Structure 1
Amino acid sequence: MTTLQDTRVRVIGEPRLLAGFDLGRLDRQRHHWTHGTQPDLTRETYTRLAESVGLRGRGGAAFPVALKLADLPARGIAAVVVNGAESEPVSRKDRLLLTVAPHLVLDGAVGLARALGAPHVLIAVHDAVAATSVREAIVERDDGVAIEVSDTPGRFVAGEARAVLSALEGGPAVPPGRRVLPTRKGYHRRPTFLSNVETFAQLAVLARLGSKGFSSTGLISEPGTQLLTIAGAVRQPGVIETPTGVPLDTVLQFAGAEPGPVLLGGYHGRWPARTDGLTLQRPDASAGIILALGSDTCPLGEVHRVAGWLASQSAGQCGPCVFGLAALVDDFGRLVRGEPAGWHDAQRHLGLVPGRGACAHPDGSARFLASALEVFGEDVRLHLGGGGGCGRPVRGVLPVPGGEW
């Protein structure tokens, strides 16, 4: 498994979030040399800036930041929560920011907490190195806001927003069955602003540059830069900062990807039918993950392997997750072995899982699997054709915990 220290960090265009990374970890002094001081902004200014540049959360949901701010009450906000529980096994971007540029993230979180009148900044982190880096950064600051770092488990569903809130309150790191927005009932059932690590770093950059400077690169509809983790069948895996809207093929060539299918958005994402002409923007770039599969591994075998891991990550709270995902693992296993009933059962179960779960895990897993059946239609025919499959081994190109990246 690749460690954070092994992660290559590169930039297409001008660095913003990754500015100064060639110096190593940015302590408080290096951070100020690189980014300058953080201005004090009002809630109204943050909302106006976020709306003017169309800033969206840089986790999986890509919810507009301005709308999230507008949904908060005028007072009584309990906390600003930084979700650093980056439990997607491929992603490295958030823990990279926490480890090398913790002050940029803290600037965004603390600045917003002051503007909202929130007395606490709570940071949930599952990576030990990142947690240590943030705690060291807190000692270097004097913000007048209580900042706490909490260790969370690395299970896949533990990174869901409501699971993070439960863990911060001392409960299990699993999403509760009720789907209530944190802006209404968040930390200890009080209004809370919660977003992922990169979102707060983007807010810190936006506060410094203003809307005009922030919009000098990237898409008109959602300007700025984005962090992408690229892995799989590539010569140079790692984290890349690019302008929003960069062509996918540009990133694949930049990382030295082998020809073949590409997964966007991680294991709750999708397999596009083709990559040429595709630009990286919301929703496909929401999780910031690109996985190149290459052409010398069995796609269906790879997908079946990931499906087994996804089923193992169930919170055990609802039938679609516990039984539906387990059934799909069995379906895909029979499909890989060339049994037509496996394909038919997979189609049936994929129609039953979405929209019925206690959290987004069954929906996201079903999206990943349904997309695979659509894109790998030729491979399905080869496996069901009685010829012994596609003739390629399962090389484990798609990483899962315990495997190699």
Structure 2
Amino acid sequence: MRTIEATRVIGEARVLAGLDQGRLDRQRHLWIHGAPPSLTRAQYTELAEAVGLRGRGGAAFPVALKLKDLPNRGIEAIVVNGSESEPVSRKDRLLLTQSPHLVLDGAVGLAHALGAPHVLLAIHDAAAATSVREALMERDDRLAVEVSDTPGRFVAGEARAVLSALEGGPAVPPGRRVLPTRKGYHRRPTFLSNVETFAQLAVLARLGSRGFSSTGLSSEPGTQLLTIDGAVQRPGVIETPTGVPLDTVLQFAGAEPGPVLLGGYHGRWLPQTDGLTLQRPEVSAGIVLALGTDTCPLGEVQRVAEWLASQSAGQCGPCVFGLPSLAHDFARIVRGEPSDAKRHLMLVSGRGACAHPDGTARFLASALAVFGDDVRRHAAGGCGRPVLGVLPLPGGAW
């Protein structure tokens, strides 16, 4: 899998401001962004509510609701989820390696406002973790800020898996679904969100609701980070206003014509993109993958299905048995043989202990719907196209 380092902006640079000149140390960060203001809990909540700020991970949960769900006292920690589990996504790693102080400003500022004594950063990328540790040497935040190394497996990025890893347990989501705001780090109330969310909070704190709302959708203003990859001439991380047309992003990246995957390997396929705007939660984890027309779509999907099955948390039947069955079903479809894919998809959906089976089923069901003509071609002898590996996998896995 190629490394994505290029950064570009459609419109105004905010979270990527200054990165055209390289990594921002503390001095350059303050010169670009200015000093962070000291805000109260009420001010953070009011700002997040005013602009409809949502988390920038897969769930896109409203930040104001998360803040309101926390108790008035006894908040244990602020957790920055830097375990970017989607193999395509690079936006959070980019922020941690190139603009770590913006992320730290958001997390530390919120910790002071909530009275949380700890800021914990869970990071699985070694370069990102080193960058944050170097940034901490330049700061005096007057509370405990710690960086913890976490595994890079797909399910290890789920919020409850991150909390388990921070407590010294396995990096898998437990079967119980309890909100971190109620029982998070060490079973105490915790505010947890992904890296970009904290960077956006830092921008929002500086600009205020009116300045933040000067671009993007009126319903959810501001900017968003997108990782663009696949059959494109210019892969990378792009900052765009919310609500930007998908076609604009694809043209900007030099994408080849063809189907597009939105949201990564728990996302969905689109046969065409005319008129679609990119907004949350539609764009989910901020991933846009162009497939092109030279590769076999079903072969690409089957590769990813095999990898997703290998990423099972190993704690429920839909993951342990259902995902390998689905991968086998898609291998049969590629070979033009009958399969039970549709029946197995119904058996997996809605029955997992975590979101992995549901997300995988959504990705595969979408592929069956969009690539129906290809299924019929394979049943009749094949589509005649090789599998080029356009969809990236860790380590170039096949």
Give the alignment of 1:28-177 within 5 angstroms: 28-177=26-175
Note if contact 2:262-2:284 (Cα within 8 Å) is conserved in structure 1. no
Match for residue 372 of structure 1 among 352, 367, 371: 367
Shift of 1:2: 2.1
Structure 1 unmatched ranges of 5 or more: none
Q: Report the AA paired with residue 129 of structure 1.
A: A
The reply on whether 1:248 has 2:246 as its aligned counterpart is yes
Residue 186 of structure 1 is matched in structure 2 by 184
Displacement of 1:274 in angstroms is 1.9
Structure 2 residue aligned with 1:390: 383
Q: Secondary structure at the match of 2:270?
A: coil
Alpha-carbon displacement from aligned partner over 1:273-317 (angstroms, at most 9, x marks no partner): 320100000122220000000001110010000000000000100
Residue type at the aligned position of 1:278:
L
What letter is aligned with 2:396?
G
Shift of residue 101 of structure 1?
0.4
What are the Cα deviations for residues 317-353 of structure 1, in whole angstroms up to 9, with x where unaligned?
A: 000011000100111111111112x1xx100011111
Could you tell me whether the CA contact under 8 Å between 2:150 and 2:165 is conserved in 1? yes
Write the mapping of 1:14-29 to structure 2, written as runs, cut at 5 A.
Answer: 14-29=12-27
* Residue identity in the other structure for 1:169: E
Kept after mapping to 1: 8 A contact 2:231/2:290? yes
**Aligned residue runs from structure 1 range 145-294, under 5 A:** 145-294=143-292
Task: Check conservation: 2:258, 2:271, Cα contact below 8 A.
Answer: no
Would you say the 8 A contact 1:105–1:198 is kept in 2? yes
Partners of 2:245 and 2:397 in 1: how far apart? 28
**Code of the aligned partner of 1:192:** T
Shift of 1:23: 2.1
> 2:267 touches 2:284 (CA, 8 Å); kept in 1?
no
Paired position in structure 1 for 2:2: 2
2: CA distance, partners of 1:161 / 1:174: 9
Find out whether 1:349 has 2:344 as its counterpart. yes
Unmatched tracts of structure 2, length 5 or more = none
Q: TM-score, normalised by structure 1?
A: 0.97
Partners of 2:390 and 2:2 lie apart in 1 by 13
Measure, in 2, the Cα distance between the counterparts of 1:76 and 1:383: 59
Q: Which amino acid aligns with 2:356?
A: H
Give the distance between the partners of 2:5 and 2:350, measured in 1 at CA. Answer: 36
- The question of whether the paired residues in 2 share the 8 Å contact of 1:176 and 1:358 is answered with yes
- Provide the C-alpha distance between the structure 1 equivalents of 2:45 and 2:202, rounded to a whole number of angstroms: 13
Does the CA-based 8 Å contact 1:78-1:187 persist in structure 2?
A: yes
Equivalent runs, 1:326-341 vs 2, <5 Å: 326-340=324-338
Query: Is the CA contact 2:7–2:20 (under 8 Å) kept in the aligned structure 1?
Result: no
Sequence identity (%): 83
User: What displacement does 1:145 show?
Assistant: 1.3
State the alpha-carbon separation in 2 of the partners of residues 319 and 22 from structure 1.
47
The CA deviation at 1:404 is 8.1
The Cα RMSD (Å) is 1.0
Residue identity opposite 1:368 in structure 2: F
Contact 1:396 1:404 in 2 (8 A): no
8 Å CA contact 2:258–2:272 kept in 1: the answer is no
2: distance between equivalents of 1:22 and 1:7?
11
Cα separation, 2, equivalents of 1:369 and 1:288: 19
State the 1:355 CA deviation: 1.2
Supply the distance in 2 between the matched residues of 1:373 and 1:28 (Cα, whole angstroms). Answer: 49
Deviation above 2 Å: which 4+ runs of structure 1? none
Contact 2:7–2:238 under 8 Å retained in 1? yes
Please give the secondary structure, in 2, of the residue aligned with 1:402: helix
**TM-score where L is the length of structure 2:** 0.99
Give CA-to-partner distance per residue, 1:232-259, whole Å, 9 cap, x none: 0000100000000000000000000000
Encode CA deviations 1:175-212: one digit per residue, 9 max, x unaligned.
01100000000000000000000000000000000000
Give secondary structure in 2 for the equivalent of 1:271. Answer: strand
For 2:198, what is the secondary structure of its paired residue? helix
Q: Residue 364 of structure 1 aligns to which amino acid in structure 2?
A: G
Separation (CA, whole Å) in 2 of partners of 1:293 and 1:286: 18
